Every structure is written in C-alpha cells, then in structure tokens.
Amino acid sequence: MFQNGFSPRRVVVTGMGIACPLGLGVEHVWKRMLAGESGIRAIQSFDTTTLPAKIAGQIPAGVKAEGGLDINEWIPIKDQKKMDRFIQFALVAAEEAVADSGWRPEGEEARCRTGVMIGSGIGGLETIHEAAQLAVQGKIKRISPFFIPSALINLASGQVSIKYGFKGPNHSVVTACATGVHALGDAARLIALGDADVMVAGGAEAAVCELGVAGFCAARALSTGFNDTPATASRPWDENRDGFVMGEGAGVVVLEEYEHAKARGAKIYAEVIGYGMSGDAYHITAPAEGHEGAFRAMKAALASANVTPAEVQYVNAHGTSTPLGDDLELEAVERLWGDAAKGLAMSSTKSAVGHLLGAAGAVEGIFSILAIRDKVAPPTLNLEKPSRESAIDRVAMQAQPRKIDVALSNSFGFGGTNASIVFRAAP
C-alpha cells in the first residue's frame, strides 16, 4: 500500500454492494455481466428529443427480489425527498455491502473505528436543476430546506453514517470519473495508517438527467451514433466507437484491517495491495499525450503493491469508448507492461454498464475483485474490430476463464486526475 518501504497495516475487502444498469446485487449483476448482457437502453425518464444522445445505462425498475430498484423498498417515502438519487443509490449499495460484511460494531469504540468515504463526481445535479427552476419561476421561497443536504456530495457518506451509527472518519471524494478509485484507495490508506479499522467506501452517481446529458453532449463526450441500437453503443477500442455512454448507480465496499477481519472470522474477498495517483497538468478534459499521467498512476500503484507488471494478470481499464482515450490508455499499459503485455487480459466493463462517472471506479473495483475470486475476465462487449492491434487480450465479446491472482483497476477524470488500485486474492 505504500512506497519507500513503509510498512503499514494490511487492508482487505470484506463486503461488496452494487446498484448499476445491470441491476441490484453483486451476484445478480456479475452473472449478467459474464453472460454478456448490456444495461444500456433508450432514456425513458425524460424527453431526449432535442438532445443528440438519447441512451444511457439506468438502473432497471423492479422489485428487489428480481434485482430491480423500487426505492420505496429501501428508503421511507418521507426521507426520499431529503436526498438526491445519487445518495439513494449509495444507501442501496451500502446496505448490501454492510450486510455482506457481517460487520455490526458493538459499543462506542467500535463505532468510532468505523468510517465512511463515499464520493460522487457531480452530486445532486437533478436536485440543483429542480431548485434552479423554482428560482427562475420567481418561486425562490419554495426552495426546500432539504435542497442543500440533498445535493451535497458528502451527504452520501453522511447519510450512511447516520443510518448505521458509524462514527469514524466521515469523508468524501470528488475527482470526477476517478472518484471511485480515489475513495477506495484513500479509505484503504486511512485504515493502513490507523485512522480507522473499517471503512465503508465507494462512489455514487445519478447524473443521467436532462442537465447532465446536455452538459456531456455539449462537451462532445457522448456516443450519438447508436441511439437506435443502445446495447451496441459502448464499444471500447472498437473502430466505430464514438463517445461514452452515461451510466448511473453506486458501488460500495467494506474495507477492513486484516487482523480485525480475521479475528471476527469475516469472509475475505481480496486484499488491497497497491494504490497510485497522478495529475496530467495538461488539459481540462483531454488526456495527456501517451496518457503519461495514467502511466505514472499505474506505475506508482504497482510500486506500492511491490509487484511487477508480469505479476498482474488482469486490468479493468478506464476504457470509456471515446475515440482518443481508449487507444492512449492501451498505449500506456503496453508501455508499462512491456514484454509482459502478451500475458495480460484487459477489458472494459463500461461496455456493459456505461460510464458511471464517480461510481465507475467503485463498481469496476468490485468487478476486478470478482475476476480474482472467480478466475474469469469479464468481457469487452461490442469490440468487433479494434482500431488498433495489441498483444494485450482485450477479452472481446465473451468472458474468459483465466488465472487471475492480481488485478489492477484504472479510473481517470476530467481535470487530468488519474488513479489506479491493485487487488490480490485473499491472503
């Protein structure tokens, strides 16, 4: 977890929860992902007539028992208006993760050693839009007292802590599309350094709303050429890719100090062994040449994990399906892995769920852990003809059984922020 030979406490993953376009529940989502299913659909929740992008990955409506979301099953109606949907998604994923971990702190000391670090890229955008409309209509006095606490990004961590009584560090990450990895990595370091024994960490996003789609459309970031065939729109590395597809949801994990987890006989999914960060100092939205910032983040993560590239068998790529970014990331991975590239599997699960922005790194971290657990690389859907050949196996179209003990997951965000995290099979 650290460079320069510092020896910290070890951190393991003992619980996981997902709400994403493939549904609710880690096992349900993972099964669908390995089967090659897509969660990308036409947007139904608002009118897209005047928008060039008309598709997204939205959490399917339905009952809990069938892996769908009916928020009334999770959050009392009177509380729903106090939180934007991104916070609701965080609570749904946290409930699964906390239950999965079996961690129920008893006593004040244990509660104070359990913290929360759930971030979001954008936060309560839809809530802000609605309040702004009241202001424009001259109804400024009608703005709800819950407007601010509903929109604030750190209220995802706040609401989770209030629900469970977790009184340790309460923190939140905001680094655009790198948020999820930063949250997991930073939370792991809080445990490694002794600030907490258990951290509930992750990312949540609900920016598939009129303002969010319009904003990314204006930045020319979204796919617009596959509106009639939504499931084929997210096609990382494919020659016909034309932008990313927005997704919504949340990923939450329970991170725990290794001895703490062992002592209570917790099920351990994986160990967090490395974490690396960098900044591009280059452009507000475009990656630097050769994705050199990503290269440095991955290199730092491997150094902190004390593993060589050859020891990593799977990379969950940032791979958003944008014309520029995909090949630059590929190039950076090839450069770092060198000769070991030919033994590497790298896929982009965004091909199935879209780009969950601030939640992406968290759900993809979970997919990386599951790849280790089940020794299988999830597929890159729609990768029919790569725009660029590579020695790296990009797991086109179908999941592949592979020997995976160590996996790295990448997330890069607007502003030129890069983060990589490394997991190893349970010790």
Partner 1 sequence: MSETAEKVKKIVVEHLGVEEAKVTPEASFIDDLGADSLDTVELVMAFEEAFGVEIPDDAAEKITTVKDAIEYIEKQKGE
Residue type, 361: G
146 makes contact with partner 1 (CB under 8 A): yes
**Contact between 234 and 246 (Cβ < 8 Å):** no
- Name the one residue in this structure whose structure tokens are 């040449």: 289
To the query of whether residue 209 is one of the catalytic residues in this protein, the response is no
Return the residue of 138, 145, 265, 401 that touches partner 1, per CB under 8 A. 145
Q: How far is the CB of 115 from partner 1 (least distance, A)?
A: 24
76 makes contact with partner 1 (CB under 8 A): yes
What span, in angstroms and rounded, lies between the C-alpha atoms of 226 and 235? Answer: 10
Whichever of 50 and 72 has its CB closer to partner 1, that residue is 72
Residue type, 419: A
Other beta carbons within 10 Å of 298: 29
Identify the three-state secondary structure at position 323.
helix
Contact stretch for partner 1 (CB under 8 A) within 42-50, 141-149, 244-252, 282-290: 141-149
Q: What are the φ and ψ backbone dihedral angles of 137, each rounded to 5 degrees?
A: -80, 5
Return the residue of 4, 5, 49, 78 that touches partner 1, per CB under 8 A. 78
Whichever of 142 and 388 has its CB closer to partner 1, that residue is 142
142 makes contact with partner 1 (CB under 8 A): yes
Beta strands in 219-323 (DSSP E): 249-257, 270-279, 314-316
Whichever of 158 and 416 has its CB closer to partner 1, that residue is 158
Contact stretch for partner 1 (CB under 8 A) within 73-81, 188-196, 378-386, 396-404: 73-81
DSSP letter for each residue of 36-82: T---EEE--SS--TT-S--EEE-PPBS-GGGT-B-GGGTS-HHHHTT
Let me know if 61 is exposed, middle or buried by CB neighbors in 10 A (0-12, 13-18, 19+). exposed
Return the residue of 65, 72, 77, 281 that touches partner 1, per CB under 8 A. 77
Contact stretch for partner 1 (CB under 8 A) within 27-35, 142-150, 230-238, 343-351: 142-150
What span, in angstroms and rounded, lies between the C-alpha atoms of 318 and 70? Answer: 30
Kindly name the residue from 20, 171, 177, 260 that is annotated as catalytic: 177
The site string for partner 1 over 203-232 (x = CB under 8 A, - otherwise) reads: ------------------------------
Beta strands in 101-214 (DSSP E): 114-119, 170-171, 198-205
Residue 379 DSSP class: P
Residue 233 DSSP class: S
To the query of whether residue 129 is one of the catalytic residues in this protein, the response is no
Cα-Cα-Cα-Cα torsion 351, 93, 357, 68, nearest 10 degrees, comes to: 50
Contact stretch for partner 1 (CB under 8 A) within 145-153, 158-166, 255-263, 417-425: 145-153
Whichever of 76 and 265 has its CB closer to partner 1, that residue is 76
Contact stretch for partner 1 (CB under 8 A) within 22-30, 58-66, 138-146, 195-203: 138-146
- In the chain, what is the straight-line distance between the N-terminal and C-terminal CA atoms, in Å? 15
The total number of residues shown for the chain amounts to 427
Whichever of 149 and 365 has its CB closer to partner 1, that residue is 149
285 makes contact with partner 1 (CB under 8 A): no
Note the maximum CA span of the chain: 64
Judged by CB under 8 A, the number of residues near partner 1 is: 11
Q: How far is the CB of 141 from partner 1 (least distance, A)?
A: 8
Q: How far is the CB of 147 from partner 1 (least distance, A)?
A: 10
To the query of whether residue 177 is one of the catalytic residues in this protein, the response is yes
247 - beta bridge partners? Answer: 57
144 makes contact with partner 1 (CB under 8 A): yes
- Name the one residue in this structure whose structure tokens are 């902190």: 304
Contact stretch for partner 1 (CB under 8 A) within 115-123, 136-144, 202-210, 260-268: 136-144
Site for partner 1 in 348-407 (CB under 8 A): none
Q: How far is the CB of 187 from partner 1 (least distance, A)?
A: 29
**Contact between 321 and 223 (Cβ < 8 Å):** yes
414 makes contact with partner 1 (CB under 8 A): no
Which residues are catalytic, by number? Answer: 177, 318, 355
Binding positions for partner 1, rule: CB under 8 A: 76-79, 82, 141-142, 144-146, 149
